[in-house]
Amino acid sequence: MKRLRQILRAVRAQMRAAWMTAMQYRLSFLGEGIVSLLWTGFTVVPLIVAYDYREGIEGWSFNECLIVVGVFIALQGILEGFIHPNLGSVVQLVRRGTLDYVLLKPLDAQLMVSVARSTPLKLPHIGVGLALAGVMAARLPDPPGPAQAGVALLLLLCATAILYSIYVFIVSTSFWFVRVDNLSFLLISVLDTGRFPVVFYTGAVRVFLTFILPVGMMTTYPALALRGLLSPRGALTALAVAAAFLLASRLVWRTAIRRYSSASS
Amino acid sequence: MNTYAAAARAFPSLLKTGLAEMVSYRVELVIWALTATMPLLMMFIWDRVAATGPVGGYDQNAFAGYFAGTLIVRQLTTAWVVWDLNEQIRTGSISPALLKPLGPLWLSAAENLAAVPFRMLVLVPIITCICLWRPELALGLAWADVPAAAAALALGWMVYFFIQVCFGALCFYTEQSGGIYMGFYGLFTLFSGYLFPLDLMPAGILSVVQWLPFRAIIQTPVSIITGQLHGAAVLAPMAHQLAWAVICAALARWSWRHGIRRYEAYGA
């Protein structure tokens, strides 16, 4: 218990440092907010054009489709604000050998590299996404109640856990290959598939997005929950998958760290 | 005119340097090329839209052909000089490059050209998969239109490259122009035909958009290499390309020269 309190205190201290840095540039929040709105527009326009020709596509109306877009944008913000700045820095730590300093500290190294550089700068982006999903869900003929909204948020947390784990897998490869910075951009563009309901994809691509890289689960499931169409079994599957991914990421990280032979010694 | 003669003489060596650069960063290059997959996503959604009947003259095969063409054109007319300039101007590493008899833009252009074979390599499996998926896809370029297609690709690349130089030169004043450029890029994805064929847009918007430079970069080359446009029909869109290539080149030249003068005034 004491150990847990210690960890929480360390995490809080690191978060506070990151927030204070960001707060020095308060105007950037406004800029980020405007940019997020702009990009949301860029994401929605192709859908407006497509839905101009059809009332519904594969059982999703325009409004329902925008719920998925909202969830996607929120997840994108989580990735860019809370996952990428942290885990992305590991590649550099490995290359420069400065991971030594992290490993020397008494706290768990994975925990340290996972929270130290979070930036609240992407909160407006997450807010825009959640607002879009929320407004569109409220406009459904059968709007979701607090229970469904809670399940949707829980599923978004699961999605975050899965995304985090995949990023750990990618970063762990840097212990072997050293230069992998732009693999993360590849992940970002694979996540791009999540801006549409997974049923829009056919054949092998849908299989890939369902079973191998569960992007469909990450953005479509929360939207399905808000529509009241997700079975309890589906929600439990998502929880199990997220737990499995987290566990795997822990194992992969432990294996990778054993490979690390500091650059200085 | 002297610089252009010098550039022509030096270009083969620049190309060789560019090629060596691309070879040493081949894995990264391939990964970068793989990130330009947005047209693939759009292909799936439009395929679903057209599943119950053609949309605005496009059926499933036409969409498959259009987006296969978009993937190809995007790989061939791309440029990244704006990111090079952002980096070089901010860190000052552009100074030694400016001392050389030929400006750094020539090397950037040579690098773009040198990357083409690698980018093609990425395309082969993707296009093959699309062809297996929709064997009847509309991707028919007649031999007679090959020169037009090549010219359209070159013009499209020039428009994109020179626009990027303009944004890059902005760094001489603001030190960072990546953010502003991303705004332009967003408009580019919507109005170039990158995410959907422009003729599917409402007519009112289309009548404005067709005067903008964006479609010169994607839609015009795509409609030629997919065989949508052929014979004399390619002339009007290519005249639009040429006009914008000239305008953008002039603008790039002007902003570059002004920027350089300002950079020297810094004494950096």
Tokens of residue B8, six digits: 């022509």
Residue A216 makes CB contacts below 8 A (sequence gap 6+) with A194, A198, A201, A206, A209, A210
CB contact under 8 A, A200 and B52: no
CA-atom Rg of chain A in angstroms: 20
Task: List pLDDT tens digits, range B106-127.
Answer: 888 888 888 888 888 888 888 8
CB contact under 8 A, B179 and A46: no
CA distance A81 to A78: 5
Q: How far away is chain A from the Cα of B242, in angstroms, using its nearest Cα?
A: 28
Runs of H (alpha helix) within chain A: 2-23, 26-51, 62-78, 84-96, 99-104, 109-115, 123-138, 146-172, 174-177, 183-191, 203-207, 215-227, 232-259
User: Which of B31, B37, B174, B206 would you mutate first to test chain A, the one with the most A CBs within 10 A?
Assistant: B31
Tokens of residue A211, six digits: 């079973």
Residues 88-147 of A with CB under 8 A from B: none
Give the pLDDT score at A264.
55
Q: How far away is chain B from the Cα of A67, in angstroms, using its nearest Cα?
A: 16
**8 Å CB contact between A177 and A168:** no
- Percent of chain A clearing pLDDT 70 (strictly above): 97
Flag whether pLDDT at B207 surpasses 60: yes
A207 interface with B at CB cutoff 8 Å: no
CA distance A113 to A88: 9
State how far Cα A247 lies from the chain centre.
17
**Hey, where are the domains in chain B?**
2-266
Tokens of residue A125, six digits: 């982006």
Shortest CB distance from B195 goes to which of A46, A54, A183?
A46
Flag whether pLDDT at A114 surpasses 60: yes
Considering A45-59, A207-221, A236-250, B71-85, the range whose residues carry the highest mean pLDDT is: A236-250
* Least confident range of B29-38, B67-76, B232-241: B29-38
Flag whether pLDDT at B51 surpasses 60: yes
Shortest CB distance from A185 goes to which of B35, B42, B47?
B35
CB contact under 8 A, B190 and A52: no
Query: Which residues does chain A have within 8 Å of residue B32's beta carbon, measured at their own beta carbons?
Result: 182, 185
Flag whether pLDDT at B268 surpasses 50: no
SS3 state of residue B58: strand
Torsion of CA B249, B251, B252, B258, to 10 degrees: 140
CB contact under 8 A, B52 and A179: no
Shortest CB distance from B35 goes to which of A31, A46, A189?
A189
Query: Which residues does chain A have within 8 Å of residue B56's beta carbon, measured at their own beta carbons?
Result: 53
CB contact under 8 A, B186 and A42: yes
Flag whether pLDDT at A141 surpasses 80: yes
Query: Higher pLDDT residue, B95 or A181?
Result: B95
**8 Å CB contact between B4 and B109:** no
**8 Å CB contact between B64 and B72:** no
CB contact under 8 A, A196 and B189: no
Mean per-residue pLDDT of chain A: 87
Residues 177-196 of A with CB under 8 A from B: 179, 182-183, 185-186, 188-189, 192-193, 195-196
Mean pLDDT over residues B193-201, rounded?
A: 91
**8 Å CB contact between B129 and A208:** no
Task: List pLDDT tens digits, range A60-100.
Answer: 999 999 999 999 999 999 998 899 888 888 888 887 778 88
Query: Higher pLDDT residue, A179 or B200?
Result: B200
Shortest CB distance from B38 goes to which of A53, A179, A192?
A192
SS3 state of residue B88: helix
Mean per-residue pLDDT of chain B: 87
**8 Å CB contact between A201 and B44:** yes
ipTM: 0.81
In chain B, whose CA is at the least distance from the CA of A40?
A: B186
